[in-house]
Every structure is written in structure tokens, then in C-alpha cells.
Amino acid sequence: MEPTTQSNEEERARNRIYSLINVVVALAFILSAAVLIALILRPGFFTEQPSSAIAETEPIDRDLIENGIHVRTGLIDAEGLMTVVNNCTNCHSAKLLTQNRMSADRWNETILWMQQTQNLWELGSNQEVIVNYLVTNYPPKKKGRRMILSDIEWYELED
Ligand code: HEC
């Protein structure tokens, strides 16, 4: 009877090891199936940044207007704003517009100069919209008259 008991015990131990291996294999299978399904449903599942991290690094809303100012360019929100934004802020900062206060004629000359030398495209009917926006919102600064003199001691002219 002795050898049988021993072999029974051996068999039970072997069975336990087999079932353990079965469990491990099943778990590994389930895990890889889950990974596969995740990658099929969303190819960037393991590499994509979480959406909250993307939102943090994304620039402010391109068309955001705050307190009457187009935040991205600093331009005043008025008629023609987006035409100006779309045609005049591609090559240089909008500061170049707001710092150069010119008459309509000089704006048209500047635009022509950029078209002839800087590859600025034809603006068509947008040119009028743009120039109107610029002279209305960034008018040439008036030179202003000097302050009236006061406290002057005039001397008498002798004849
Ligand atoms: C294709 C590119 C491009 C576009 C689009 C463009 N510009 Fe320019 N602009 C330039 C370049 C290049 C300069 C020279 C920049 C410099 O001197 O640093 C310039 C210079 C200027 C200047 C300064 C001129 C001077 O006398 O110093 C003004 C003002 C200006 N641009 C206004 C505008 C306006 C208004 C628009 C929209 C109609 C516009 N730009 C669109 C390329 C462009």
C-alpha cells in the first residue's frame, strides 16, 4: 500500500502545480487580450498623453476675445478684426500694425510695398476692410499743440 499512497501524493502535488500553471497562463492570456483590445480600440492607448495634460499645453483659444481685445494678437475687437488677423499677422506680430499709425493712403502704400517685396498676397476687397479697420482703431496720433505758456514776465519795449 505504501508506494500507492506516495504516488497519489506526488500526483496531487503535480496536479496542484499544473492548475497553478493553468491559472497563470489564463491570466497572461486575459491580460494580453485586454492590451490587444485596448490597442485596437485606441492605437495610442499607452503612448497618448491624458487629455488633461494636452489641455494644459494647448495655446489659448485662437479666437478668444477678452475686454474687447483679441487675446492672441492684442488687436482691438472691431469690424474687420478677423480679416486683419487672417491676413496681417501671419508674417509678423500685430505690434507692427498697432505701432505704425498711418493714414489710409500710407497703409495702402505699405501694403503695396509688402506685395512687391515681401510676397504679401493680393487682398482684393479685403484691403479696404483692413485699411478701414486700421485707420478707425489705430488712427494717426495727433501731434497736439504745445501747452499755453503761463507766468511769463513780459518786458516793456522801449521806443
Ligand atoms: C507675406 C508676409 C507678410 C504679410 C502677410 C504681411 N506683411 Fe507686413 N511686413 C512683412 C515684412 C517681411 C515686413 C518687414 C518686417 C521688418 O522690417 O522687420 C513687413 C512690415 C510691415 C510693416 C512695417 C512697415 C515699415 O515701414 O516698417 C507694417 C506696418 C506692416 N507690415 C503691416 C502689414 C499689414 C497691415 C498686413 C496685412 C494687410 C501685413 N503687414 C501683412 C511681411 C508681411
| Assigned architecture for domain 65-137 | Orthogonal Bundle (1.10)
Produce one character per residue of 4-17: b if its CB has 16 or more CB atoms within 10 Å, e if not.
eeeeeeeeeeeeee
Neighbours of 81 (CB within 10 A): 19
Residue 83 has pLDDT above 60, yes or no: yes
The identity of residue 157, as a single letter, is L
pLDDT of residue 7: 84
Best mutation site among 81, 84, 92 for ligand 1 pocket (most ligand atoms within 8 Å of CB): 92
Calpha distance 88→101 (Å, rounded): 15
Percent of the chain with pLDDT over 70: 88
Q: What is the mean pLDDT of residues 6-35?
A: 92
- As for ligand 1, residues whose beta carbon falls within 6 Å of it are 87-88, 90-92, 96-97, 100, 110-111, 114, 118-120, 123, 130
The residues spanned by each domain of the chain are 1-55, 65-137
Is the pLDDT at 57 greater than 80, yes or no?
Answer: no
Residue 95's pLDDT band, with cuts at 50, 70 and 90, is very high
Q: Is the pLDDT of residue 133 over 90?
A: yes
Dist. CA 138 → ligand 1 center (Å): 16
Residue 2: its pLDDT value, please? 55
Helical segments of the chain, H only: 2-41, 51-57, 81-88, 95-99, 104-117, 126-137
Of all protein residues, the one whose alpha carbon is nearest to atom 15 of ligand 1 is 92
Query: If you average pLDDT over every residue of the chain, what do you get?
Result: 87
Interval 67-81: pLDDT, tens: 999 999 999 999 999
User: What does 109-127 look like in DSSP terms, one character per residue?
Assistant: HHHHHHHHHS-PPP-TTHH
Predicted pLDDT of residue 106 = 95
